[in-house]
């Protein structure tokens, strides 16, 4: 059984609650929003950091990116002077041979050559000797020859002692003489009227063989011959009737027109 005091408290409490509900304005119940609890491995995020995350992810709150630009013309200096030339580098390996090029243009027609001769032979050779000794008596003395070894097509004139060039080209000539004891030997090998080579030997108590040779480029009509030159001393060349000690040779090496 409840006591009379407890029952009175209950009645009084209920009346007071009803009186308060009638006197105060009635409010709507507050709706609580759902909040996600963090998991066991997650840490709670602060309000400031979560707000910054929402603002940065939202396009309306995005922060503009600043890209600095540098004016290169301000940093570029004046053009410097050209330096000294460096040493050449090492030579590279030779490259492969290239393809053959195209044929060039045809050249102009050349000038016509000299008129040939149907009977002319492109050969010349002679070898002549002298069996008689010779002493100089004049300032210049023509040396003639009396023995004919070879005289192809008679280009060497035995009477004048001169070789006449019928075939232009390169010729080889040689002159061999025997000196005289205690006498000077001085000869000129002549081309037309000009000396081109000298054969010389000083006086000696013994006689020796002396020679001279050369090549000449001759034109048609030119002559080659030998002359003795007189100086202060007696000039002479030795030979005998029984043998030949003085020999003059010449032959064509290459004709000018083949």
Q: What pTM, to 2 d.p., does this model score? A: 0.53
pLDDT tens sequence across 36-51: 555 555 555 555 455 5
The candidate with the shortest Cα–Cα distance to 176, out of 239, 123, 230, 241, is: 239
pLDDT tens sequence across 215-236: 999 999 999 999 988 767 778 8
Terminal alpha carbon distance of the chain? 168
Which residue shows structure tokens 């027609």?
Answer: 109
Write out residues in the chain with pLDDT < 50, as ranges.
Answer: 16, 18, 20-22, 48
Q: How far is CA 54 from CA 49, 50, 57, 64, in A?
A: 9, 6, 5, 16
pLDDT at 7: 55
pLDDT at 82: 85
pLDDT at 183: 85
How do the domains of the chain map onto residue ranges?
A: 125-255
pLDDT at 120: 62
pLDDT at 257: 80
- Pairing outcome for strands 169-179 and 236-238: antiparallel
- How far does Cα 171 stand from its chain's mean position? 38
CATH 2.60.120.40 fits 125-255, yes or no: yes
Q: Specify the 3-state DSSP secondary structure of 235.
A: strand
Taking a C-beta distance cutoff of 8 angstroms, is the pair 130, 143 a contact? yes
């Amino acid at each position: 059984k409840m006591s009379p005091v407890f029952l009175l408290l209950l009645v009084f409490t209920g009346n007071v609650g009803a009186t308060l509900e009638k006197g105060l304005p009635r409010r709507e119940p507050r709706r609580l929003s759902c909040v996600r609890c963090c998991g066991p491995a997650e840490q709670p995020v602060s309000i400031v950091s979560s707000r910054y995350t929402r603002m940065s992810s939202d396009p309306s709150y995005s922060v503009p990116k600043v890209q600095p630009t540098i004016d290169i013309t301000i940093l570029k200096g004046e053009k410097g002077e050209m330096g000294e030339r460096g040493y050449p580098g090492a030579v590279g390996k030779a490259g492969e041979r290239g393809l053959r090029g195209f044929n060039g243009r045809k050249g102009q027609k050349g000038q016509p050559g000299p008129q040939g001769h149907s009977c002319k032979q492109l050969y010349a050779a002679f070898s002549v000797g002298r069996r008689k000794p010779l002493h100089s008596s004049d300032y210049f003395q023509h040396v003639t020859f009396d023995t004919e070894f070879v005289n192809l097509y008679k280009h060497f004139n035995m009477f004048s002692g001169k070789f006449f060039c019928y075939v232009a080209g390169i010729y080889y000539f040689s002159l061999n003489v025997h000196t005289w004891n205690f006498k000077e030997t001085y000869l000129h090998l002549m081309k037309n009227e000009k000396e081109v080579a000298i054969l010389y030997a000083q006086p000696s108590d013994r006689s020796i063989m002396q020679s001279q040779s050369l090549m000449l480029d001759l034109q048609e009509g030119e002559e080659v011959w030998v002359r003795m030159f007189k100086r202060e001393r007696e000039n002479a060349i030795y030979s005998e009737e029984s043998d030949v000690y003085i020999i003059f040779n010449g032959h064509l090496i290459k004709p000018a027109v083949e």
